Amino acid sequence: MPDLDPGSNNLDAWEAHYEADHTPWDHAAAHPMIPILVEEACLHGRVLVPGCGAGHDVEGLSACGLETLGIDLAPSAITKAAKLYPEAAFEQQDLFKLPEAFAGTFDTIWEHTCFCAIHPCQRPAYLAAMHRCLKPTGQLVACLYITHGEEEVPGPPFKIPRTRILEIFTECFVLVEQQISPFSYDSRRGNELLVVFEPRSRGADRFRD
């Protein structure tokens, strides 16, 4: 099975991991913050879940009554998700090459494990893609994997300092609130930053191709 090369999307490597059922990042359950965030209306309307993997968060959001779409680069991830949750909606998509139909159509993006999986060089493209998908009134809500040190941790998963996360995201987004996630998986407790961002004005289509 090929290693996950952090220098590219590396579809073959992600696909091999799912085909071999070697997915140590998969906690087999939706993130415990989801029902709380839905109740507080942080997650609302039509929701996009990038890098959805086996689809647990998509199912969790759908079970809360939200119209939710999960996307993933690896076809085997989407196949697994669709088998686990046949009533949920999934598509195999490269988030860096999303079709125009995605533009401005989502009220909320739920970011959980996608950002930490991509190489740092891909972050500007990730931010532009997420910004493009949101309605002008939408929100990006995220639980981001952080390190409490001052340096980034090589990955994937790429863990980065809290201050660095805020610097990166505020290129395209305005911070609304932040806190260490009060609920998380046991292995990530205290190491996830819960943030809510609003998209900066598109103005002269600064973030479009």
pLDDT at residue number 205: 40
Amino acid type, 196: V
Mean pLDDT, residues 102-118 taken together? 95
Q: Which two tokens stand for residue 18?
A: 């799912």
112: left (phi over 0), alpha (psi -120 to 50) or beta: alpha
For residue range 23-70, list pLDDT tens digits in order. 888 888 999 999 999 999 999 999 999 999 999 999 999 999 999 999
Q: Is the peptide bond before 32 cis (omega within 30 degrees of 0)?
A: no
Query: What's the pLDDT at 208?
Result: 40
Beta carbons of 193 and 143 less than 8 angstroms apart: yes
Mean pLDDT of 146-169: 86
Segment 132-157, tens digit of pLDDT: 999 999 999 999 988 887 788 887 88
Token pair of 165 as six digits: 């996360």
The mean pLDDT value for 1-28 works out to 72
Specify the pLDDT at position 199.
96
What was the pLDDT predicted at 61?
98
Of the given ranges (1-5, 106-110, 143-147), which has the lowest mean pLDDT? 1-5
Contact (CB, 8 A) for 156 and 116: yes
Q: pLDDT of 184-195, one tens digit each?
A: 877 777 789 999
CATH topology of domain 32-199: Rossmann fold (3.40.50)
Cα 203 to Cα 35, 75, 136, 172, 207, distances in angstroms? 34, 35, 11, 12, 9
104 close to 161: Cβ distance less than 8 angstroms: no
